[in-house]
Structure 1
Amino acid sequence: MADDVKSKKDTFRERVAARYPSMDMDNEDEYYGNMGLLLDEFEGYEDNSRKMRESMSKSPVFAEMIVAARGQEDFDPIVWMVQNKGLDLQSLADDPDYAQKLADAHNSYLEKLAKQDEIEKQMAENMPASVQAVRSKAAEMGLSDEQAEEVIGSLYKIMDDLIVGKIDPAYFEMIAKGMNYNSAVETAREEGVAAGLSTKVEDKLRDISGKRERSSGRQSPVQERKPVRKFQNPFVAESYDD
């Protein structure tokens, strides 16, 4: 019956609920946050697919090899090249220029391997402290575990994009606003301190001026001058005679 046919909206929500079983579908922030991450993931796949198609269009041999590799768990590109393109490995080995290219490529691989080992070592050392710091900051900000994970996911997305030369204007705007906010807070704090100090100075001067006016209004007989009392100026380190 027509009434039993699910709407596209219901079908979509069921698929989302199956993908994120712990998500509260009625929580809009959580729902749209996960949808944003899902869209980011899709756009990443889409971008990689586009780059793959461009590479295949530039190299027909590479395109053939990719097609041949589909569905073959033990696919060997070297064997495929020998079988299908007549690759002569012995001739390549006897070619000094090509042999040097292979040696340089191997050295490059070893350098990358060494860097990877160093990166993994630093990650193992830094990650525990970073995780604890992030958890503490999330608790301080009142964020739930899901919200904290969403923020961390966004950080990794930024990192992945930067590696391939992508800068999302939305993330740029977010960081720029955060930097301006911190600057505004610091400026306001400095202005507040300055204003407070100015007010204290004016009040002190007004108080001193009032005391002097009241003193000058009284007529007293001239008396023998007594030793001068030292008055401590609150604004300078030195003392002067009052």
Structure 2
Amino acid sequence: MPENVKSKKDTFRERFSKRYPDINMEDEESYYGAGNDLLDKYDGYEESAEKMRERISNSPIFAEMIVAAGKQDDFDPIVWMVQNKGLDLKAIAEDEQYAQKLADAHSSYLEKLAKQDEIEKQMSENMPASIETVRAKATEMGLTDEQTEEVIGKLYAVMDDLIVGKIDPSMFEMMAKGMNYDTAVTQAKEEGIAQGLNTKVNDTLRDISGKQERNGGRQSPVAPVKTKRKPRIPFVDEDEEGME
């Protein structure tokens, strides 16, 4: 290969870095994560294109319209239908059944428009307060502004994916772990407490055993100097009695 010709690997890495300038290509998790995102998008485009091809193949008129639209910047489908397919707008208006279909379609459009307006209204009211609480939580967690923006961007990406029916397994895993977080912490604390108590008991038993000085053979232990009566320790005293 000539020196001035780039290898396919170098060409790919150069194109990849232009598309994802913030990705550290030496970090495999980030690198392959971005690569998977790119493949997911490609799969989505491929699926949409396949559906479009099926619809075009089932409707010759639609296929002609798509071709015509690709050749004209100010393409108007109604004008095209009148010019090329003899669409009779007067006959459509006089057809009661078809006119009802158009009226229903227009009503559906108005309903969608009203819902969209309501959603936009709620968004404008809720977003400022939401951003404020999120930034407060980010400060509490010690996140930088860049990290905060990255997380918010991920949230928007998840929302966009859900709209088109996509669920990222890594986001699912994160949500599942988050939902079990309190339980996991409680369990860890309980295990830690149990382990600590067990260690303390074992240390106490070893300490007690070390203080029990005995003579050689099976003789009884040397009587200690009389002090206050030591409280009886369950299990330990029984074991010592069995050893005498």
> TM-score, structure 2 length as denominator?
0.66
Farther off after superposition, 157-166 or 56-65: 157-166
2:65 aligned partner: 65
2:185 aligned partner: 185
Residues matched between the structures, number:
201
Give, in whole Å, the separation in 1 of the partners of 2:148 and 2:31: 15
2:171 aligned partner: 171
Residues 139-154 of structure 1 mapped to structure 2, 5 A cutoff:
139-141=139-141, 147-154=147-154
Q: What is the Cα deviation at residue 76 of structure 1?
A: 0.6
- Judged with a 3 Å threshold, the aligned counterparts in structure 2 of structure 1 residues 176 and 183 are, in CA distance, closer, same or farther, namely same
Matched, 1:47 2:47: yes
- Tell which has more relative contact order, 1 or 2 (C-alpha 8 A, sep 6+): 1
1:238 aligned partner: none
- Judged with a 3 Å threshold, the aligned counterparts in structure 2 of structure 1 residues 77 and 99 are, in CA distance, closer, same or farther, namely same
1:2 aligned partner: 2
2:133 aligned partner: 133
1:225 aligned partner: none
1:207 aligned partner: none
1:231 aligned partner: none
Give, in whole Å, the separation in 1 of the partners of 2:4 and 2:105: 62
- Judged with a 3 Å threshold, the aligned counterparts in structure 2 of structure 1 residues 169 and 140 are, in CA distance, closer, same or farther, namely same
2:91 aligned partner: 91
Farther off after superposition, 51-60 or 9-18: 51-60
Q: What is the Cα deviation at residue 30 of structure 1?
A: 4.2
Q: What is the Cα deviation at residue 104 of structure 1?
A: 1.1
Give, in whole Å, the separation in 2 of the partners of 1:21 and 1:167: 25
Give CA-to-partner distance per residue, 1:4-51, whole Å, 9 cap, x none.
Answer: 321112111211233344554444454444334333333332232223
- Judged with a 3 Å threshold, the aligned counterparts in structure 2 of structure 1 residues 20 and 2 are, in CA distance, closer, same or farther, namely same
1:109 aligned partner: 109
Q: 2:180 aligns to what SS in structure 1?
A: helix
Provide the aligned C-alpha RMSD in A.
3.5
Give, in whole Å, the separation in 1 of the partners of 2:143 and 2:48: 33
Give, in whole Å, the separation in 1 of the partners of 2:136 and 2:123: 19
2:120 aligned partner: 120
Q: Once the two structures are aligned, what percentage of the paired residues are identical?
A: 68
Farther off after superposition, 137-146 or 51-60: 137-146
The one-letter code matched in structure 2 to 1:88 is: D
Q: 1:112 aligns to what SS in structure 2?
A: helix
- Judged with a 3 Å threshold, the aligned counterparts in structure 2 of structure 1 residues 186 and 72 are, in CA distance, closer, same or farther, namely farther
Give CA-to-partner distance per residue, 1:36-88, whole Å, 9 cap, x none.
Answer: 43333333322322232232233222222112111422111111111222211
1:209 aligned partner: none
Give, in whole Å, the separation in 1 of the partners of 2:45 and 2:140: 35
The one-letter code matched in structure 2 to 1:116 is: Q
1:81 aligned partner: 81
Give, in whole Å, the separation in 1 of the partners of 2:146 and 2:102: 48
Q: 2:3 aligns to what SS in structure 1?
A: helix
Q: What is the Cα deviation at residue 178 of structure 1?
A: 2.9
- Judged with a 3 Å threshold, the aligned counterparts in structure 2 of structure 1 residues 138 and 37 are, in CA distance, closer, same or farther, namely farther
Q: What is the Cα deviation at residue 188 of structure 1?
A: 4.3
In structure 2, the gaps of 5 or more residues are 199-227, 230-244
The one-letter code matched in structure 2 to 1:133 is: T
Q: What is the Cα deviation at residue 156 of structure 1?
A: 3.1
The one-letter code matched in structure 1 to 2:13 is: R
- Judged with a 3 Å threshold, the aligned counterparts in structure 2 of structure 1 residues 145 and 11 are, in CA distance, closer, same or farther, namely farther
> TM-score, structure 1 length as denominator?
0.66
Farther off after superposition, 47-56 or 29-38: 29-38
